[in-house]
């Protein structure tokens, strides 16, 4: 990560955004984002009200959008692993219409269970809001692992 990006916005120096960059770059099998600044790599996850306004209310998610959803929750799972030292597994089930559920498990413990709707409109108002949401989910997940280490260790 370049210091210039961190100087422009300190959110780029956080563990979560660093992991999101790794997850998003892992999706780029053709090297399209090679040499691109972090802002460009994460831009598809930022849906300002203007950008959201051009996306239809009803629609089916494309593969790229589904991959971004997976990247977001995989980044949270990686941070859970980093904090508690146990494997965190992300499970995503979606219908073709963009409705479904995401689970993150640690051992036999479900540490995150979210219902997903309108996945074709998945995104955040800003990177800062995405990080805030991830921090909330991470905090709850780690608290659950702390309360139930015996189940998480199975």
Q: What is the pLDDT along the chain (154 residues), one digit of tens a residue?
A: 555 656 578 889 999 999 999 999 999 888 888 889 999 999 999 998 888 888 888 888 999 999 999 999 999 999 999 999 999 999 999 998 989 999 999 999 999 999 999 999 999 999 999 999 999 999 999 999 999 999 998 8
Domain ranges of the chain: 3-152
- Specify the DSSP element, H or E, that contains 111: strand 109-116
**Helix/strand/coil for 47:** coil
Give the max Cα distance, the chain.
48
This prediction's pTM: 0.91
Q: Is 48 in contact with 37 (CB distance < 8 Å)? A: no
Q: Is 70 in contact with 90 (CB distance < 8 Å)? A: yes
Q: Is 152 in contact with 84 (CB distance < 8 Å)? A: yes
**Helix/strand/coil for 100:** strand
What architecture is the 3-152 domain classified under in CATH? Orthogonal Bundle (1.10)
């Amino acid at each position: 990560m370049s210091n210039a990006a961190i100087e422009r916005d300190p959110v780029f120096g956080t563990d979560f955004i660093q992991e999101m960059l790794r997850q998003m770059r892992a999706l780029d099998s053709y090297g399209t984002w090679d040499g691109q600044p972090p802002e460009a790599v994460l831009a598809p996850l930022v849906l300002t009200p203007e950008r959201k306004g051009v996306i239809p209310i009803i629609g089916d998610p494309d593969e790229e959008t589904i991959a971004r959803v997976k990247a977001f929750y995989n980044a949270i799972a990686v941070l859970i692993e980093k904090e508690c030292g146990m494997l965190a597994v992300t499970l995503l089930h979606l219908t073709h219409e963009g409705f479904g559920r995401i689970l993150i498990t640690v051992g036999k413990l479900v540490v995150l269970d979210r219902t997903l709707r309108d996945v074709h409109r998945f995104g955040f108002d800003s990177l800062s809001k995405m990080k805030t949401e991830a921090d909330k989910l991470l905090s709850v997940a780690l608290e659950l692992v702390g309360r139930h280490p015996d189940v998480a260790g199975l």
